[in-house]
Amino acid sequence: MKLLILSCLLAGCLAQKPRPCSSPPLLTGALAMSTQKENMWVYAKYLYDEMGQRIRLMERGTYENKTFSYDLLLLYREATVYEIHRHNRTCNKMPLKGVFQPMAIPKDASLLGQVILGSSSGPGEGLLVNTWTGDLPEKAGKFMSTVTEFGCIPVSTLFHTDRFGWMVLSYFDNVIGILDPQDLIPPPYCQHCGDEGR
Ligand SMILES: *[C@@H]1O[C@H](CO)[C@@H](O)[C@H](O)[C@H]1NC(C)=O
Ligand SMILES: *[C@@H]1O[C@H](CO)[C@@H](O)[C@H](O)[C@H]1NC(C)=O
Protein backbone atom coordinates (compact mmCIF):
# COMPACT_ATOMS: atom_id res chain seq x y z
CA MET A 1 0.00 0.00 0.00
CA LYS A 2 2.73 2.42 0.99
CA LEU A 3 4.59 1.58 -2.17
CA LEU A 4 1.51 2.27 -4.27
CA ILE A 5 1.01 5.66 -2.66
CA LEU A 6 4.65 6.49 -3.12
CA SER A 7 4.61 5.52 -6.77
CA CYS A 8 1.48 7.62 -7.22
CA LEU A 9 3.24 10.60 -5.74
CA LEU A 10 6.18 10.10 -8.03
CA ALA A 11 4.29 9.31 -11.19
CA GLY A 12 1.14 11.27 -10.42
CA CYS A 13 -1.20 8.36 -11.03
CA LEU A 14 -4.29 10.32 -10.03
CA ALA A 15 -3.46 13.71 -11.39
CA GLN A 16 -3.79 14.32 -15.07
CA LYS A 17 -1.54 17.02 -16.37
CA PRO A 18 -3.53 20.28 -16.29
CA ARG A 19 -4.41 21.71 -19.68
CA PRO A 20 -5.17 25.28 -20.77
CA CYS A 21 -8.90 25.79 -20.41
CA SER A 22 -11.74 28.19 -21.13
CA SER A 23 -13.87 29.64 -18.33
CA PRO A 24 -17.66 29.20 -18.50
CA PRO A 25 -19.14 31.45 -21.22
CA LEU A 26 -21.57 33.10 -18.78
CA LEU A 27 -20.39 34.28 -15.37
CA THR A 28 -21.60 36.62 -12.67
CA GLY A 29 -19.45 37.57 -9.72
CA ALA A 30 -17.23 40.11 -8.08
CA LEU A 31 -13.65 41.15 -8.45
CA ALA A 32 -11.07 43.30 -6.75
CA MET A 33 -8.32 45.03 -8.67
CA SER A 34 -5.33 47.07 -7.68
CA THR A 35 -2.53 48.63 -9.68
CA GLN A 36 0.97 49.37 -8.54
CA LYS A 37 1.84 52.52 -10.45
CA GLU A 38 -1.53 54.23 -10.48
CA ASN A 39 -2.19 53.67 -6.79
CA MET A 40 -5.70 52.48 -7.59
CA TRP A 41 -8.10 50.08 -5.87
CA VAL A 42 -11.30 48.87 -7.43
CA TYR A 43 -14.05 46.58 -6.24
CA ALA A 44 -16.55 45.59 -8.90
CA LYS A 45 -19.51 43.39 -9.52
CA TYR A 46 -19.25 41.90 -12.96
CA LEU A 47 -21.33 40.06 -15.54
CA TYR A 48 -19.60 38.29 -18.40
CA ASP A 49 -21.15 37.01 -21.62
CA GLU A 50 -18.64 35.47 -23.97
CA MET A 51 -20.99 34.72 -26.88
CA GLY A 52 -22.54 38.16 -26.88
CA GLN A 53 -19.18 39.81 -26.11
CA ARG A 54 -20.78 41.86 -23.34
CA ILE A 55 -19.38 42.84 -19.95
CA ARG A 56 -21.01 44.86 -17.18
CA LEU A 57 -18.87 46.37 -14.44
CA MET A 58 -20.40 48.12 -11.47
CA GLU A 59 -17.37 49.37 -9.66
CA ARG A 60 -16.24 51.56 -6.80
CA GLY A 61 -12.70 52.37 -5.98
CA THR A 62 -10.10 54.86 -4.93
CA TYR A 63 -7.59 56.58 -7.14
CA GLU A 64 -4.93 58.71 -5.52
CA ASN A 65 -6.98 58.83 -2.31
CA LYS A 66 -10.18 59.91 -4.03
CA THR A 67 -13.13 57.57 -4.24
CA PHE A 68 -15.03 57.03 -7.48
CA SER A 69 -17.76 54.81 -8.78
CA TYR A 70 -18.47 53.69 -12.31
CA ASP A 71 -21.18 51.63 -13.89
CA LEU A 72 -20.08 50.49 -17.33
CA LEU A 73 -21.68 48.30 -19.96
CA LEU A 74 -19.14 47.21 -22.56
CA LEU A 75 -20.62 45.99 -25.84
CA TYR A 76 -17.70 44.81 -27.95
CA ARG A 77 -19.82 43.76 -30.94
CA GLU A 78 -21.10 47.32 -31.23
CA ALA A 79 -17.74 48.82 -30.22
CA THR A 80 -19.67 50.86 -27.67
CA VAL A 81 -19.39 51.47 -23.95
CA TYR A 82 -22.25 52.94 -21.95
CA GLU A 83 -21.46 54.78 -18.75
CA ILE A 84 -24.68 54.47 -16.79
CA HIS A 85 -25.74 56.86 -14.02
CA ARG A 86 -28.61 55.07 -12.34
CA HIS A 87 -29.21 57.74 -9.72
CA ASN A 88 -30.21 60.39 -12.27
CA ARG A 89 -31.10 58.01 -15.12
CA THR A 90 -28.59 59.35 -17.63
CA CYS A 91 -25.97 57.74 -19.82
CA ASN A 92 -22.82 58.52 -21.69
CA LYS A 93 -22.27 56.53 -24.86
CA MET A 94 -18.68 56.24 -25.96
CA PRO A 95 -16.72 54.31 -28.57
CA LEU A 96 -15.10 51.16 -27.20
CA LYS A 97 -11.63 50.41 -28.45
CA GLY A 98 -10.04 47.01 -28.19
CA VAL A 99 -10.90 43.44 -28.93
CA PHE A 100 -12.99 41.22 -26.67
CA GLN A 101 -10.73 38.83 -24.76
CA PRO A 102 -12.48 35.65 -23.67
CA MET A 103 -11.67 34.45 -20.17
CA ALA A 104 -9.37 31.56 -20.96
CA ILE A 105 -5.88 30.27 -20.48
CA PRO A 106 -4.21 30.68 -23.89
CA LYS A 107 -3.01 27.44 -25.50
CA ASP A 108 0.60 28.61 -25.47
CA ALA A 109 0.65 29.42 -21.73
CA SER A 110 3.10 27.56 -19.49
CA LEU A 111 1.98 25.73 -16.39
CA LEU A 112 3.67 27.10 -13.29
CA GLY A 113 2.09 24.53 -11.02
CA GLN A 114 -0.91 22.99 -9.37
CA VAL A 115 -1.53 23.75 -5.71
CA ILE A 116 -4.24 23.66 -3.11
CA LEU A 117 -5.28 27.06 -1.79
CA GLY A 118 -6.23 26.74 1.86
CA SER A 119 -5.74 23.28 3.29
CA SER A 120 -6.05 19.70 2.13
CA SER A 121 -6.74 18.44 5.66
CA GLY A 122 -10.52 18.44 5.56
CA PRO A 123 -13.42 18.67 3.14
CA GLY A 124 -14.26 22.22 2.10
CA GLU A 125 -10.98 23.61 3.43
CA GLY A 126 -9.13 23.71 0.16
CA LEU A 127 -9.38 24.63 -3.50
CA LEU A 128 -7.38 22.88 -6.22
CA VAL A 129 -6.01 25.45 -8.65
CA ASN A 130 -3.63 25.67 -11.59
CA THR A 131 -1.39 28.67 -12.20
CA TRP A 132 -0.27 29.60 -15.70
CA THR A 133 2.08 32.21 -17.11
CA GLY A 134 2.48 33.66 -20.55
CA ASP A 135 2.74 36.75 -22.71
CA LEU A 136 -0.06 39.24 -23.23
CA PRO A 137 -1.24 39.75 -26.82
CA GLU A 138 1.00 41.97 -28.95
CA LYS A 139 3.85 41.62 -26.43
CA ALA A 140 2.09 44.12 -24.16
CA GLY A 141 3.54 42.38 -21.10
CA LYS A 142 3.21 39.22 -19.03
CA PHE A 143 0.42 37.57 -17.10
CA MET A 144 0.09 34.97 -14.39
CA SER A 145 -3.40 33.45 -14.08
CA THR A 146 -4.81 31.07 -11.50
CA VAL A 147 -7.97 29.11 -12.28
CA THR A 148 -9.70 26.25 -10.52
CA GLU A 149 -8.83 22.75 -11.75
CA PHE A 150 -12.52 21.91 -11.83
CA GLY A 151 -14.53 24.32 -13.94
CA CYS A 152 -11.72 26.70 -14.97
CA ILE A 153 -13.20 29.41 -12.72
CA PRO A 154 -10.93 32.46 -12.51
CA VAL A 155 -9.28 32.94 -9.11
CA SER A 156 -6.68 35.63 -9.76
CA THR A 157 -4.72 37.23 -12.56
CA LEU A 158 -1.56 39.29 -12.34
CA PHE A 159 -0.55 41.43 -15.29
CA HIS A 160 2.67 43.22 -15.77
CA THR A 161 2.89 46.03 -18.29
CA ASP A 162 5.31 48.92 -18.49
CA ARG A 163 2.46 51.39 -18.33
CA PHE A 164 0.69 50.10 -15.19
CA GLY A 165 3.40 48.06 -13.46
CA TRP A 166 1.78 45.16 -11.62
CA MET A 167 -1.96 44.89 -11.81
CA VAL A 168 -3.68 42.31 -9.61
CA LEU A 169 -7.21 40.98 -10.16
CA SER A 170 -8.91 38.63 -7.70
CA TYR A 171 -12.26 37.02 -8.46
CA PHE A 172 -14.74 35.77 -5.89
CA ASP A 173 -18.40 34.84 -5.34
CA ASN A 174 -18.56 33.63 -8.95
CA VAL A 175 -21.64 31.82 -10.17
CA ILE A 176 -22.10 30.27 -13.57
CA GLY A 177 -24.77 32.04 -15.59
CA ILE A 178 -26.18 35.55 -15.79
CA LEU A 179 -28.31 36.32 -12.75
CA ASP A 180 -30.04 39.32 -14.26
CA PRO A 181 -29.95 39.40 -18.10
CA GLN A 182 -31.38 42.95 -18.05
CA ASP A 183 -28.02 44.14 -16.74
CA LEU A 184 -26.44 43.34 -20.12
CA ILE A 185 -28.87 45.51 -22.09
CA PRO A 186 -28.63 49.31 -22.12
CA PRO A 187 -31.40 50.72 -19.90
CA PRO A 188 -34.27 52.50 -21.78
CA TYR A 189 -32.99 55.91 -20.77
CA CYS A 190 -29.73 55.19 -22.64
CA GLN A 191 -31.50 55.12 -26.02
CA HIS A 192 -31.54 58.89 -26.25
CA CYS A 193 -28.23 59.59 -24.64
CA GLY A 194 -25.57 61.77 -26.16
CA ASP A 195 -22.72 60.34 -28.16
CA GLU A 196 -19.80 61.80 -26.32
CA GLY A 197 -16.42 61.48 -27.88
CA ARG A 198 -17.63 60.60 -31.32
C1 LIG B 1 -2.76 59.78 0.00
O2 LIG B 1 -2.90 59.82 1.42
C3 LIG B 1 -1.70 59.53 2.11
C4 LIG B 1 -2.01 59.47 3.59
O5 LIG B 1 -2.93 60.46 3.97
C6 LIG B 1 -0.62 60.59 1.75
O7 LIG B 1 0.58 60.28 2.39
C8 LIG B 1 -0.40 60.57 0.24
O9 LIG B 1 0.50 61.61 -0.12
C10 LIG B 1 -1.72 60.79 -0.50
N11 LIG B 1 -1.50 60.62 -1.94
C12 LIG B 1 -2.00 61.46 -2.85
C13 LIG B 1 -1.66 61.15 -4.28
O14 LIG B 1 -2.69 62.42 -2.58
C1 LIG C 1 -25.89 62.54 -13.73
O2 LIG C 1 -24.88 62.10 -12.85
C3 LIG C 1 -23.58 62.08 -13.40
C4 LIG C 1 -22.63 61.45 -12.42
O5 LIG C 1 -22.79 61.91 -11.13
C6 LIG C 1 -23.17 63.49 -13.79
O7 LIG C 1 -21.87 63.50 -14.34
C8 LIG C 1 -24.18 64.02 -14.80
O9 LIG C 1 -23.87 65.35 -15.12
C10 LIG C 1 -25.60 63.92 -14.25
N11 LIG C 1 -26.53 64.31 -15.33
C12 LIG C 1 -27.54 65.14 -15.13
C13 LIG C 1 -28.36 65.42 -16.35
O14 LIG C 1 -27.78 65.62 -14.05
Q: What is the distance between the alpha carbons of residues 28 and 45, in angstroms, rounded to a whole number?
A: 8
pTM, full prediction: 0.83
Average pLDDT over residues 134-162: 92
- List of residues 6+ apart from 146 with CB closer than 8 A: 129, 130, 131, 132, 154, 155, 156, 157
Whose C-alpha lies nearest to ligand 2, atom 6? 85
Check pocket membership of 85 for ligand 2, CB cut-off 6 A: yes
Q: What pLDDT does 30 receive?
A: 98
Q: How many CB atoms lie within 10 A of CB 103?
A: 20
Nearest atom of ligand 1 to the alpha carbon of 39:
13
Q: Which of 85, 87, 94, 193 to mutate to test the pocket of ligand 2 (most atoms within 8 A of CB)?
A: 85
Whose C-alpha lies nearest to ligand 2, atom 1? 88
CA of 92 to the centre of ligand 2 (A): 9
Q: Is the pLDDT of residue 166 over 60?
A: yes
Q: What's the pLDDT tens digit per position in 8-48? A: 555 555 557 899 999 999 999 999 999 988 788 999 999 99
- Grade residue 64 by pLDDT with cuts at 50, 70 and 90: confident
Whose C-alpha lies nearest to ligand 2, atom 13? 90
The structural architecture, per CATH, of the domain 19-190 is: Clam (2.50)
- Grade residue 194 by pLDDT with cuts at 50, 70 and 90: low
Helix (H, G, I), strand (E, B) or coil at 129: strand
CA of 65 to the centre of ligand 1 (A): 6
- For the chain, what is the mean pLDDT? 89
Residue ranges of E strands in the chain: 26-35, 40-49, 54-63, 66-75, 80-85, 90-95, 110-118, 126-135, 142-148, 154-161, 165-176
